[in-house]
Amino acid sequence: MKPAPFDYVAASSVDEAVALLANHGDDAKLIAGGQSLIPMLNFRLLQPDMLIDIGNIPDLQSISEATDSLLVGATVCHHMLLTSPLVRKHFPILCHAVSHVAHIAIRNRGTIGGSLSHADPAAELPMMMVLLDAELEIAGPTGSRSIDANTFFVGALTTVLEPDEMVVRIRLPFLPAGSGWEFQEVARRSGDFALAGAASILTATDGTVNTARVAVLGVDETPLRILAAEDALRGNAFDEAAVAQAARSVQEAVEPKSDLHGSADYRRHLIGVLTGRVLRSAWRRATGDDR
């Protein structure tokens, strides 16, 4: 349970980190909080020749407000997301979701960029980025590019990032006024990876659903937006029939796997129940006093 030998360099800027990646490519790994990477090193599932530490690059550690969006640096840790007044003001759903990430000591170290790059299909932040229509700013040897979170995740622990690229910033477009939201997950124990989780953001006009977003985690190879469920809700009255239809759309869209903790059938059942719960709660926030 000790890592295999590697070289270590602490990068002092994004340019330096990208240059090091360009030189070492596949043989190097970036490390920031290390809360996913170090377990894999300890188990020797990964044996990189070099670790490039981006945990002390000041540019990547801040949360700031632009005119239409919130900008979150890649090495902002979970605890900072959870306690940031800006995040609480614009994205209370994100605070709520992050409170489900592991435990205090992990949240003190683990970073948003690390969680997204690691791309665990049961992790909260990748799903939240998909739900929030986040844009990821990626730095690489030829400059920077921007990727929609919905095209960033391509499989379990797999993203479109090239070996010489890194996530530097996440742009979260502000939500429409009057958005109601909810996030819920079910895990065997507090802090464990969830068996399944769902989140929704709704806006209402005169008793009908104006805009709808639905996303799920833990029930497929990647976090997913469920467009069929969103289409079924949008423009229609919000009632139990609509909720049931949306939950069925989610159950039909996902391909959960069986493991030690739950069968595929159980997870499919669970995601239907969770979808109903988050929709009802998001609707209450969009229409009621508990906004």
Complex with other proteins: residue 117 or 287, whichever CB lies closer: 117
Question: From the centroid of its chain, how far is CA 231?
Answer: 22
Q: Which stretch binds other proteins (CB under 8 A): 22-30, 47-55, 84-92, 165-173?
A: 47-55
Complex with other proteins: residue 16 or 53, whichever CB lies closer: 53
3 binds other proteins (CB under 8 A): yes
260 binds other proteins (CB under 8 A): no
Element (H, E) at 167: strand 166-173
103 binds other proteins (CB under 8 A): yes
- Integer Cα distance of 19 and 120 in angstroms: 27
Complex with other proteins: residue 79 or 280, whichever CB lies closer: 79
User: Among residues 14, 55, 198, 230, which is the contact residue for other proteins, using CB under 8 A?
Assistant: 55
> Could you tell me the smallest distance in angstroms from the CB atom of residue 13 to other proteins?
17
191 binds other proteins (CB under 8 A): yes
Sheet hosting strand 63-65, strand order edge to edge? 63-65, 69-73, 166-173, 135-140, 143-148
> Could you tell me the smallest distance in angstroms from the CB atom of residue 82 to other proteins?
12
Question: Using an 8 Å Cβ cutoff, are 138 and 145 in contact?
Answer: yes
The b-or-e profile of 258-269 (16+ CB within 10 A means b, else e) is eeeebeeeebbe
106 binds other proteins (CB under 8 A): yes
Size of site (CB under 8 A) for other proteins: 31
Element (H, E) at 107: helix 104-109
1 binds other proteins (CB under 8 A): yes
Complex with other proteins: residue 19 or 106, whichever CB lies closer: 106
10 binds other proteins (CB under 8 A): yes
- Where does residue 246 fall: left (phi above 0), alpha (psi -120 to 50 degrees), or beta otherwise? alpha
User: Among residues 39, 155, 235, 288, which is the contact residue for other proteins, using CB under 8 A?
Assistant: 39
35 binds other proteins (CB under 8 A): yes
205 binds other proteins (CB under 8 A): no
Q: Which stretch binds other proteins (CB under 8 A): 30-38, 125-133, 221-229, 231-239?
A: 30-38
Kindly give the pairing relationship between strand 50-53 and strand 7-10. Answer: parallel
Complex with other proteins: residue 2 or 207, whichever CB lies closer: 2
- Where does residue 206 fall: left (phi above 0), alpha (psi -120 to 50 degrees), or beta otherwise? left
105 binds other proteins (CB under 8 A): yes
> Could you tell me the smallest distance in angstroms from the CB atom of residue 225 to other proteins?
30
Q: Which stretch binds other proteins (CB under 8 A): 50-58, 65-73, 233-241, 250-258?
A: 50-58
Unique residue bearing structure tokens 């801040």: 62
The b-or-e profile of 211-227 (16+ CB within 10 A means b, else e) is bbbbbbbbbbbbbbbbe
Rg (CA), the chain: 19
Distances (CA, A) of 71 to 17, 40, 161: 20, 29, 20
| Short-list 210, 176, 35, CA closest to 111 | 35
Q: Which residues bind other proteins (CB under 8 A)?
A: 1-8, 10, 31, 34-35, 38-39, 41-43, 51, 53, 55, 79, 102-106, 108-109, 189-191
